[in-house]
Amino acid sequence: MKEAIVHAGPRVEIIDSPIPKPEPGQVVIKVEVSGCNPKDWKIPEWMPNMSPSNGGDDIAGTVSAVGEGVTEFKKGDRVAAFHEMMKPGGSYAEYAVAWAHTTFFLPEKTSFEEGAAIPLAALTAAVGLYASDRLDLPQPWSPATKPCPLIVYGASSAVGTYVLQLAIRSNIHPLICVAGRAQDHVKSMIDTSKGDTIVDYRKGDEAVVQGLKDALKGQKVEYAFDAVSEKGSIKNIADVLDTKTGKATFVLPPPGSDFSGSYSEMPEGVKQSMTNVGSVHGPVKDLGYVYSRYFTRGLEEGFFRGQKQEVIPGGLGGIQKGLENLKDGTASAVKYVYKISETPGAGSGQ
């Protein structure tokens, strides 16, 4: 099969590899569409001593084989899945591997393109919002019964898009959304009648802090989901978050840390956490299982949808262009996806 290997730069190399086989508890998926994420170009630069690899984690396609103990899925099922990061069998290939508990059915009305836009970012949102050691907010099936202000920094990003959708299902309002040129995308999801509003980060940090304060209208804010975690977002949140009971979760570690530590900008009384979506393959496995299935229900019933997708032509040959766009900031409120069948030589065998 054809497989794409991502080097620092980013630079993408397409190679021939054997089709993977599932271990117990895993499924092998014939990839129709792969999504990509900013970490796909960042990790090769953050970890230059690591061997270049197939870093794709967003899979959409049909089940090709199931491992021992897998009873929920069978060959031919339409699915999307979150591949375990930093492991073999990533989505930048004709066939990919995922654990069954982070695999979920795609309704017939849901395209593979939409399915590929969901797994990593949506599970990141779920972990950050609901895990007991992150924000620990009310679950959608036990929604909030009183106002619960939440700052969503980077609300138009892939993670931010899913934070908003899930928070609304949890009746979490007002949502104070920090966004830039993609504000119309955010407006299409929020409910201004419940106090939800948008603060434009392009006006500068001082204006952002004032905008957050104005949006709160004197209310105390105890929760912040920072889907940016750089370029002033930490300090701006710190200036408004309650210093005694506040909780903030971030998608990036503090500069120079090994995915741990704390942000110095945050007051000592604020509970900080990093939302590492990889924890669904570890300590919050049950949460990953439940929300993966909840996404299927949301797609079926229409209360959940994938972020807008843009297909980069060329299949695996288009990955480098997509990663370059992510690196230089071209992407805005869009998820880059790749149709694997467009790869030159795809389908020619093992």
In 36-182, the DSSP E strands lie at 58-66, 78-82, 95-99, 103-105, 150-153, 175-179
Q: Confirm whether 91 is domain-assigned.
A: yes
Verify that 35 and 145 share a domain, yes or no: no
Verify that 270 and 303 share a domain, yes or no: no
Verify that 250 and 316 share a domain, yes or no: no
pLDDT higher for 255 or 187?
Answer: 187
pLDDT band of 257, cuts 50, 70, 90: low
CA proximity to 180, closest of 150, 162, 203:
203
> What's the mean pLDDT when you consider all of the chain?
95
Of the three residues 220, 244, 274, the one that is the final residue of a domain is 274
Verify that 262 and 161 share a domain, yes or no: yes
Verify that 103 and 147 share a domain, yes or no: no
Q: What is the CATH number of the domain that holds 204?
A: 3.40.50.720
The residue type of 266 is: M
> How does pLDDT run across 194-212, given as a tens digit for each residue?
999 999 999 999 999 999 9
Verify that 148 and 106 share a domain, yes or no: no
Q: Confirm whether 287 is domain-assigned.
A: yes
Say if CB 126 and CB 120 are below 8 A apart.
Answer: no
Residue 208, pLDDT score: 96
> How does pLDDT run across 5-61, given as a tens digit for each residue?
999 999 999 999 999 999 999 999 999 999 999 999 999 998 888 999 999 999 999
Q: Confirm whether 350 is domain-assigned.
A: no
Q: Give the count of domains, the chain.
A: 2
Residue 254, pLDDT score: 86
Structural domain boundaries enclosing 12: 2-121+282-342
Q: What percent of the chain has pLDDT over 70?
A: 98
Verify that 305 and 335 share a domain, yes or no: yes
Tokens 């792969």: give the residue: 34
Verify that 153 and 261 share a domain, yes or no: yes
Q: What is the CATH number of the domain that holds 326?
A: 3.90.180.10
Verify that 251 and 145 share a domain, yes or no: yes
Verify that 161 and 105 share a domain, yes or no: no
